[in-house]
Amino acid sequence: MSAPLVEVRDVNFAYDSRPILKGINMSFPKGKLIAIMGGSGCGKTTLFRLIGGAIKPTKGEIRIDGQDMHALDRQGLYEMRRKMGVLFQFGALFTDMSVFDNVAFQMREHTNLPEEVIRDLVMMKLHAVGLRGTHDLMPAELSGGMARRVALARTVALDPMLILYDEPFAGLDPISLTVVGQLIRRLNDALGATSVIVTHDVQESMKIVDYIYFIADGVIVAEGTPEEIRASDKSFVHQFVHGEMDGPVPFHYPGGDYRKDLGVSA
């Protein structure tokens, strides 16, 4: 297996006295596509923010390319973030900029490339996601799936070594969902990047990822390849993968005696 680009070592995080993550250990090898899954509120997005350096762990460390992310000074953190790409949920395109200017934004902010070179690079990135012909359009003129693909082109504009995807499949129709999934896989392989997907979409993710971590109640309850996860006999994983209504995650929120609530005597 490839050497890890990202190492999450015994990471704990709490909001005040409320624990969110408890002793998380993960390793993301270079060139691989990793999924982090779990129910709402399990700590996926918190972990995502920790990896990006937006918040600091209560305990433990996150090392990216050998550097402790939270020991970096302000300048070091900015330099590390320039090596990352982030696809936000629903794309988060700049609504008052054209498709071209959205993709060119990072190039203009973080490089001294001349405009003619930026133009060629932007067109190459848009061509890679099948949307070179949309460069003059505004985000409001795009469908949801097209907007997500433009956001993906912007995410890989600077050829990042680490790409973070926050629910990349949310709100997409079946065709767009498949297109975006395959683009994520192909772009990761073409760039030689390491990609991390935070997602609820089990079936689509299993088609493209190399490894999966399941989080529940702030701890890792299962991990493995898609084949190993499908074959798991752990009740939480089975319920999540197969979308079952009841199991370790119950259908009913805890409550008192049902008959009493209905005013029925015993």
Say how far apart CA 226 and CA 205 lie, in whole Å.
9
Overall pTM surpassing 0.85 (yes/no) = no
Q: Which amino acid belongs to residue 194?
A: T
Which pLDDT does position 130 carry in this prediction?
87
Report pLDDT digits (tens) over 129-168: 888 888 999 999 988 888 888 998 998 888 889 999 988 8
The answer to whether the beta carbons of residues 83 and 154 sit under 8 Å apart is no
Q: Do β-strands 194-198 and 33-37 pair in parallel, antiparallel, or remain unpaired?
A: parallel
Integer Rg of the chain from CA: 21
Residue 62, pLDDT score:
93
Lowest-pLDDT range of 54-58, 60-64, 253-257: 253-257
Give Cβ neighbours of residue 130 (< 8 Å, ≥ 6 apart).
Answer: 149, 179
CATH topology of domain 4-83+160-261: Rossmann fold (3.40.50)
pLDDT digits (tens, 9 = 90+) for 61-74: 999 998 898 888 88
User: In this prediction, what percent of the chain has a pLDDT beyond 90?
Assistant: 30
Tokens 């995502």 — which residue? 48
Domain boundaries, the chain: 4-83+160-261
The side-by-side arrangement of strands in the sheet containing 211-216 is: 84-87, 162-166, 194-198, 33-37, 211-216, 219-224
Any idea which residue has 């409550």 for tokens? Answer: 255
- Give the pLDDT confidence score for residue 243 in this predicted structure: 61
User: Residue 204, by phi and psi: left (phi above 0), alpha (psi -120 to 50) or beta?
Assistant: alpha
